[in-house]
Amino acid sequence: MTESNAKEASPHAGKVDTFPTGRLTYLSPRPLPTGYPPVDHGHAIGKVTGHYLDFGVGHSNAFSWQLVIGGSFVLFLISAVVGPLLGFAGGYHFGNGWEDAVWAVEELFKRGFWLGIGGALLVFSISMLPVRKTFQQAEKIYPTRFNRQRREVCFVPEGEEEPIFVPWEQLQAWILESQGVSEYGVRRQYGFGVGFHHPETGERFTLEFETHGRPLAISNWEALRA
């Protein structure tokens, strides 16, 4: 194989590898401008400083915390506030006026307040189980670190403790597009990945995750480069 043919066969930005159910489009080495905004749609980027960027672990989702805290608080409000108000309205319209309305509020509040506290704590505890599991898993994962000053990428493969340093110019990035047919029709899948060949052994290491579309995958790549 001549030198020109070898360069053409090696991965580079714009190169497309096809397979029976889809294709692989490379974004680097030798990256080119894509015109897409740098947005981390996949929530794969973690800590970002002026020196480095962590990729592959992500960060906590604000919506999940809102759901956990908000759900518990809403349950407490329904039990301690909404219930007594409904009791007040029922006592006033269907009872003996203000006397029954005030009695209904007092009784429902006494019971509803503590029921609301207990229910909110129970919902909060149950909702925190998957959140805690996610954090425990994240603690066991070494993120891929992009060092912006030294222009190198630090990988720690799964099951390994020794890091592997790869120059930025040798990093491979790609978009994965595939489709298949199921009983529900045609299903399309998209993904984004980065990888490299070990400088000494030549073994290939990759890190991939699924995205919801081709533009979103390209934006994730631009977020790494930004």
Give 43-84 pLDDT, tens digit per residue.
778 778 888 888 876 655 566 677 778 888 888 888 888 888
Tally of domains within the chain:
2
Q: Is pLDDT above 70 for 132?
A: yes
The residue among 111, 139, 167 that closes a domain is 139
Q: Is pLDDT above 80 for 35?
A: yes
pLDDT band at 137 (very low <50, low <70, confident <90, very high): low
169-179 average pLDDT score: 88
pTM greater than the 0.85 cutoff: no
The rounded percent of the chain whose pLDDT value lies above 70 is 88
- Pair 95, 123 in one domain: yes
Least confident of 5-14, 37-46, 159-168, 170-179: 5-14
4-22 average pLDDT score: 73
Q: What angle do CA 171, 198, 192 make, to 5 degrees?
A: 40
118-133 average pLDDT score: 80
- Pair 49, 78 in one domain: no
Q: Which residue has the higher pLDDT, 136 or 224?
A: 224
- Pair 51, 78 in one domain: no
Mean pLDDT of the chain: 80
- Pair 27, 9 in one domain: yes
The residue among 110, 139, 168 that closes a domain is 139
186-213 average pLDDT score: 84
Range of the domain at 66: 62-139
- Pair 44, 93 in one domain: no
Least confident of 77-91, 111-125, 132-146: 132-146
Cα(75)–Cα(161) distance, integer angstroms: 45
- Pair 135, 146 in one domain: no
How high is the pLDDT of residue 63?
Answer: 63
